[in-house]
Each structure stands twice: as structure tokens, then as C-alpha cells.
Structure 1
Amino acid sequence: MDTIVVGAGIAGLTAARLLHAAGRRVIVLEARERVGGRMWTDRTAGFSVDRGASWIHGLTGNPLTDLVPAFGMETREFTVGSFQAGGRPIADHDASRRLLDDDATRRWIADVDAADALFQRTIADSGPDESYAAAAERTLAATGWDPERADRVRSFYRHRTEEQCGAEVEDVAAHALDEDAIEGDEVIFPGGFDALPRAFAEGLDVRTGTTVTAVTRSADGVRVDTEVGSFDAAQVIVTVPLGVLKAGAITFTPALPDAVAGPIDRLGMGVFNKVFLQFPKRFWQDGVYAIRQHGRAGFPWHSWYDVSVVSGEPMLLTFAGGAWGREIERRTDDEVVASVLDSLRALYGAGVPDPVAHWITRWGSDPLALGSYSYVAVGSSHDDHDALAGPVDGVLHFAGEATYGHEPATVHGALLSGHRAAERILGAPVSLDRLTRDVRATR
């Protein structure tokens, strides 16, 4: 065997697809009984509910922009997935839970823009051991704003890191969101995002239900041990989530060098869970993308996204990130739903109906993920993402969103990391156009 790929998420399938297109013999070993990894669409209700990845974050210069239509995937524009203060209609509520009028909304957005401009200068002066929280405090102190005005932006920054990193603002490095620029609109998928990895997997030798336990390097190449047997190959690409690597679920022999083990230890793995609520009728404003509660009243729930365009039913999606994301995993579904409803009823009154259905994710306790996506923790850097990719001894490669410093925590970052791993093995550039051509050739 030429190459073994561990993990059938988008990174692993991209690498396998490109190697297959180049005539290499490839096996993909996947512990789950499905492909896609953290791209997981639940269709049990008769419509798509993306429990994992949902958005293309920025269509400009994004490889997914051309790939998605090539596979006939329907999209809908939805440009607030990157936790923006404005840009699209948002029903903003102040600390007293009153809906902001147009003038107040403009002032709020202007405050965030002004603070962000100052924040960028603060971050530029920050070292690797300063947290996002500390940098935010230095920024807000420099504004000279009154406590209420500053606290509203402070809460926004806390929620930003919860959504973008799945982590507490004190745990996230000041430089963590340096690469967080979104170019162009964002889109979501009425038919489900996991149509992409399912298309990539067509015609490949994917062994689902096969959990890898060990990878051994030797002069002859690599041996990959699983719960059902061993496989030998010249090269291996490991694409399991960072949480799995941090937990030591795969034994590497010889031990990983510090150049790779160090980044695994330093980078953070965030928890970011979704709560979808399907209602019998719509009770919120028409034409809004999101509902947002500002200030301290926005704890623990602060933002709800109108995803009715995906389901065709009245549906809101809210998120729980960081410590709160881990906390809801210890609670029952009924307790989580009741908590969300308490916050919604504080905004819209007792007439908010009970939902007719709900979906709640628990990525932190999923043993095959142990988190949602990576982030730059205090003491780490974006360089750690790329260093994690290896290769080690010329035969062991790593791929996945956690290994791509320019666009971590994104589907397109994962895809590009798989592309990079394939190019390193082949020793030559490979066009991403080969993905669509190779899939079509197998159909």
C-alpha cells in the first residue's frame, strides 16, 4: 500500500482523493460508521440539520466556492456566521432587553468598529503570553468610555471568542483571531454540508468502523494498528481532531518529536455546541438574520440565528461555547431547552411557544472528536498549527483544520491541509481541480 489515511473527514478525503487521482494506492481508515467527521448532517426530520460544520466562511478566494456548485450543492447567503456586529439585519437588544432602534444600532456598530480598530493596535503590541481578555481590557481602558458602554463591548469580545474559538476569552491568545478576516459573503446549505465529504468518498477504499490505535514508523515505512488488524504502507496521513491527539488516543512509535508534540500540547481544542429549536410558529421579527442580547444579560445565551431557510420550518439556532459549552454537555436535553427558552421569553414574552423539536450537540464528550475545533491558546501561536503538520521522518504527515495556520477551525482550512499533505507525498503541485475530475470519473 502506498498511503494510509487516518480519518475520513474533509482533510483525509481530500488527501486520499488527490493521491487516488495520481494513481496511488490509498486506504482510508475511519472510526465512525460514516464519513465526514465534524461535518455531520442529520436528516432524520426530513430536512437537513448540520450538527457540525454549517458555513462557508467567506466566498472570496475560498476553494469551496467553486467546489460546492460543481457537486450540485444548493447554498443560501447567510453572512453573520463569523460573529459580526453588523453587516446584515440583526435584532439587537440592550442590557434591559429592549430592542434597539436604527440609530442605537448604528451607534452600537460604530462602537465595535472603533474598539476593533484600537484593538488591532493593542494586539500588535501583544506577546504570545498575553490573553485576548487582557488585550481587550487594555483596549477598553484606552477608549475612555463609561463603564456601561465599555462593558457592552467587553461582553461582545467574550462571546466572539466563545463562538470563534470555543474557548473562554482568558484562555485565548491575544493573537488568536489574527487570521479571522472574512472575505466576501458566507453561505449555508439547505441540503446539508456533508454532501461534500460524501461526494469526495465515492469510489475510494474507505474502511468505516475502523479505529486506529497506534502508528509505528520504521525504515520500511509505517504500520498502522487498528482494533481489527494492522496495515502497512510507505506513508501515513493522520487527520484525527486535535482533541484526539491531545488525549493520546493514538500511540506513536517512536514518540513524536517536540517539533510536533509541542504544538499538540500548546494549541487549544475548543468546545462549541449547537442547540437547534424548531417552533410551531414564528414569534421573532421578519427579515432578521439573528437575534442578539447585549451586555451581562447575554449570559449564558446571547445570539440566536434564524435558520428557517434551511429547514423550511420556523427554526432558531443558538450556540454554547467554552465553559458553557462544556457545561451543557452535563445537562439533560430538557434542562438545556428550558434554559434557552427562559432567555427567549425574557426578550419576547411568555407567549414564546415550546419547541416541537430540538437538536443538541455534545462535541466535547464525543470520544472521536473531544472538542469542536482548535484555537491559539495563550502561549501558542499560528506557527504551531503549521508545525503540527510535520512531516515526521518523511513518512508521517498530519492534516486537518488544526494543522493549517492561515485558516484554522474552518472546512476550507481542513481541505487545504489535505491538499498540502498530498502534494508533499507526491513531491509536486496538484491542482484542486483534480478533486472534481476524479470524483466524476468514479461515478
Structure 2
Amino acid sequence: MEHVDTIVIGAGIAGLTAARLLVGAGRRVVALEARDRVGGRVHTDRSHGRVTDLGASWIHGVEDSRVADAATASGMPLVEFTVGGYQPDGRPIAYFGADGHRLDPGATARFVADVRTVDAALGPVVAGSAPEATYRDVTEVALAAQGWPAERTARVREYLEHRSEEQYGVRIEDLAAHGLDDDVIAGDEVVFPDGYDRLATSLAEGLDVRLSHVVSRVTWSPHGVTVPGFAADQVVVTVPVGVLQSDDFVIEPPLPDRQRAALGRLRMNAFEKVVLRFPHRFWDADVHAVRQLGPDGAWWHSWYDLTRLDGVPTLLTFAAGPVARAIRGWTPDRVAASVTAQLRRLYGADVPDPTDVIVTAWQDDPFARGSYAYMTPGSTTRDHDDLAEPVGGVLHLAGEATWTDDPATVTAALHSGHRAACAVLGRHVPIAAAWS
């Protein structure tokens, strides 16, 4: 059996950050990664000479962002793209009405103002909501307070439904009232023309990472931890919530009641990317995104123009929540046909078939079991931090689901890895030491 100071399970951003800080502090660390690559849910496809981020894509706000600092230190090019947080405006968006025709600037401004009005009313409603309230419950209260006609209310309600799905990959009635408390963008958003995975490979440099090493059991006591083949003083577990909740990953003895209760109120979502490349651009060249309103947009309602990344006409859309589950097992061509039918409704029969289609399948990934975690009704924002409370002085949980301020993001993963490293060391170390 190999002995080290600390075992890190998972070589995603959280695990790599923790490992790098611990190694920098003089600890002997081994990182065990089930996949044949580092990065976890930060994963870039480079087939056919093209760069496609299959998992995380955006930094949602570069202002005071440690992820932006790390990316810059790693020499990663950044391209501004400020519409990724399902914002109603921010950058030019082409809105199409329920009749399939593009809204004029006045109608667009009125719709955006309605969304902003309801958002302003929503904050106090969420703050005063009951513990079991859903995001549907609180949005309905905020909508009713406006006293608008049915059609006007329906359009904003639809927007709020799509925001829940696109932000957290879950139906609005299944998301906790506080589930979008973190939906704040500070500064511009950016994407990565060379791929987000450069961050993971940079963090992994010089670390002892054992790839294709699946861990199914962690045994701990106040005296230390073991996993098959390894023993250590402490362990940092960074596997996703879906894996933590499965029978394929066992922590023995089980987590204390506080952590188990917090874990039980979180779920992995269903959220897939659909990337379509076309022979030519048929959509508006002056917009960052295209959105359609009305019942025809129940599945496919938002497309993001990624052409600026490499010059190839490219649209990104999302299969979110119920849609992701419905298309599970579909071929990429079938998904593309479904998406393209809606684009033809907006832009006409001459819209060409895509030349290339990529559809992700995070739901079927045994080492992810979804894209990221969301809060179910009855959960609180404190559940994220409770999950990360050290156990027995030797067991530490980290990852995007364990950070309260900005969960479900690379930012959360990075900060949670930093917190775990500080807990292992028993002292503070600067987070920038992971990349400086």
C-alpha cells in the first residue's frame, strides 16, 4: 500500500486546486482520477481541428474573478461574450415573438423592461419565502403583483421558466425558491477560443495525477484514511453530487447527519449542450444571441452565436431539464433536425442543414451523472457549506456543490478546492498560490 500525506479524489478544478496548494505547502499528494484525462466537467473536444467546450464554457463575470486570474496567468486567450447567464439583454439579442416574427426595438425594450420589473419584485419575495417554496411559487407571487394582462404575464412567466431550466437544468417547480440567489453577473462574461481545458492542464502540471484510477470506497477514522491501494493522513473528495449519492461510491463510516441531510437536498441536473456548425451564417450578424417567445419555443428557445471564436458559423443551444431527459438516447442528427426546424420557423426554409453537430451526454457519464447540482425545495443556501464541513479532521468534501456564494460554477470548484487545502493544512494559504 502506498502512503502519502493527502489523497485527492478527482482531478477536476477543485481537486487540482487543492492538490496544487498542498504540494506547494510541502505535502506529499496523489490525485486519483477515474477518467483518462484531467478537468472533470471542464472538457474540450478538439476533433477535426475545432475547439468545442463540452462542459463549462463561460466565466460568468470577470470582475474580481479568481478563475479569470488563473486563466490569465495560464496564458489563456479570452473573448467577451456577455449573454451566458440567461440575461434579457446586456448584449444585442434578437427576440422573435410567438408568431415567429422578430420584435422591433420598441417591443424588445418593453419585454426586457417587464423582465427587469419582475426581477426587482422577486428579490423580497424570495427573501420572505417559506422553507419548502419553489421557484415557481415565488415567481408567481412577483408576477401577480404586477396586475398585467394574461398575454403580457405569460411571456415573462415563460422567460422565468426558461431561466430556471437554462441556469440549473431543472423545471421551475423543482427548483428551490433560493435556487437562483447566485444569479448575479459581475462584469463582462468571457469564453475561451483555445478551450477551457487549458486551465485544468495548467493546474495539473507537476502534480502526481493517476489517471483511469476509479475509487469506489473511502474508509476513514480519526487516525487517517484508506482507499484501495493508498493510505494517507487526510483525503479531499471532489466527486460530483451524483456520484456521492450513488451506490458506486461508498464512504465508510457514512457521512455525519449534517452532511447527509445537506447532500439529500441537492440533486444533479439534466443539462446538455447542442453545438451546430453551418456552411454559412443565416442569422443576424449584429447579435450575440437569438431567442424566440411563445409555445413553439418550449424546447428550443435560445441560440448563442459562437462564430467569433474561430470564424466558423456556429450556434450553441441547450437541452435543459425535461428536454434533456426527453432527447436522451437520440442520435445527433435527430437532435439537429429538431433544433433546425425551429430555426427554419424563424429564418425560413432556406436555413441549411448543419455541417457538424455535437450533443453532450453528461447524464450518462458515470463519473458525473449530470452537469451540476441544484437545490431542491426545502434546501437552503447553507447546505453547500454544510456539505463541506470537515469530517473527523481527516475527510474533506470539495467541488462546485460545496460552495455557497456561486455554486454550479468553475469559480465554486476553484474556491472549494482552496478551502479544502486550507482545512487540511490548518492554516490559510493564498488561493493565487495555485497558479502563481
TM-score band (shorter)? over 0.9
Aligned partners of 2:14 and 2:238 also within 8 Å: yes
| Residue in structure 2 matching 1:19, options 6, 18, 22 | 22
Partner of 1:383: 382
Name 2:226's counterpart in structure 1: 223
Find the counterpart in structure 1 of residue 35 from structure 2: 32
Render the CA deviation track for 1:191-214: whole Å, top value 9, x for unaligned: 000100101111100000000010
Whether the 8 Å contact between 2:222 and 2:394 is mirrored in structure 1 is no
Task: Select which of 198, 202, 206 maps to 1:203.
Answer: 206
- Provide the C-alpha distance between the structure 2 equivalents of 1:317 and 1:222, rounded to a whole number of angstroms: 43
Residues 1:349 and 2:342 are matched in the alignment: no
Question: 3-state SS of the aligned residue for 2:272?
Answer: strand
Contact kept in structure 1, 2:18 and 2:420, CA below 8 Å: yes
What residue number does 2:304 align with? Answer: 305
Q: How far did 1:396 drift?
A: 0.4
State the distance in 1 between where 2:251 and 2:370 align: 21
Q: Which runs of 5+ in 2 are unaligned?
A: none
CA distance in 2, matches of 1:263, 1:219: 22
User: 1:406 corresponds to which residue?
Assistant: 405
Alignment-derived partner of residue 441 in structure 1: none
CA distance in 1, matches of 2:227, 2:256: 18
Of 41, 65, 73, which residue of structure 2 is paired with 1:70?
Answer: 73
SS in 2 for 1:2: strand
Question: Quick check: 1:43 aligned with 2:53?
Answer: no
Contact kept? 2:222, 2:392, Cα under 8 Å = no
Task: Provide the rounded CA distance (Å) in 2 between the counterparts of 1:331 and 1:134.
Answer: 33
Paired position in structure 1 for 2:262: 263
Q: For each residue in 1:155-176, what CA deviation from the matched residue of structure 2 results, as whole angstroms up to 9, or x when unmatched?
A: 1111101111111100001111
How many aligned positions are there? Answer: 433
Match in the other structure for 1:334: 333
Q: Which residues of structure 1 form unaligned runs of 5+?
A: 438-443
Taking the aligned partners of 2:86 and 2:248, their CA distance within structure 1 comes to 33
Q: Calculate percent identity across the aligned residue pairs.
A: 53
Q: Does 1:213 align with 2:212?
A: no
Determine the C-alpha separation between the residues in 2 that align with 1:345 and 1:123: 39
Select 1:59's aligned residue among 62, 72, 95.
62
Q: CA shift at 1:359, angstroms?
A: 0.5
Query: Contact 1:373–1:409 at 8 Å: present in 2 too?
Result: yes
Shift of 1:435: 1.5
1:385 is displaced (CA, Å) by 0.7
1:148-227 equivalences in 2 (<5 Å): 148-225=151-228
> Does the 8 A contact of 1:128 with 1:175 survive in 2?
no
Give the distance between the partners of 2:134 and 2:235, measured in 1 at CA.
36
How far apart, in 2, do the equivalents of 1:171 and 1:311 lie?
A: 37
Partner of 2:95: 92
Paired with 1:389 and 1:432, the residues of 2 have a C-alpha distance of 17
What is the alpha-carbon distance in structure 1 between the residues aligned to residue 59 and residue 166 of structure 2?
Answer: 15
Contact 2:333 2:357 in 1 (8 A): no
Deviation at 1:332, TM superposition (A): 1.9
Contact residue 92 and residue 105 of structure 1 kept, 8 A: yes
Deviation at 1:219, TM superposition (A): 4.1
Q: Tell me, yes or no, if the aligned pair for 1:156 and 1:295 is still in contact at 8 Å.
A: no
TM-score scaled by structure 1? Answer: 0.96
Q: Shift in Å at residue 138 of structure 1?
A: 1.6
Distance 1:265 1:433 in 2: 33
Quick one: which amino acid aligns to residue 117 of structure 1? Answer: A
What SS does the corresponding residue of 2:216 show, helix, strand or coil? strand
Amino acid at match of 1:299: A
SS of the aligned residue for 1:100 comes to coil
Residue 49 of structure 1 contacts residue 311 of structure 1 at CA under 8 Å; is this kept in 2? Answer: no
1:440 aligned residue: none
Task: Please tell me the residue identity of whatever aligns with 1:52.
Answer: G
Give CA-to-partner distance per residue, 1:368-391, whole Å, 9 cap, x none: 100101111111111111111121
Contact 2:74 / 2:202 at 8 angstroms: preserved in 1? yes
Could you tell me whether the CA contact under 8 Å between 1:2 and 1:234 is conserved in 2? yes
User: Aligned to 2:48, what secondary structure does the other structure show?
Assistant: coil
Runs of 4 or more off by more than 6 Å in structure 1?
none
Report the aligned-residue RMSD: 1.0
Once residues 272 and 315 of structure 2 are traced to their aligned partners in structure 1, the CA distance between those partners, rounded to angstroms, is 14
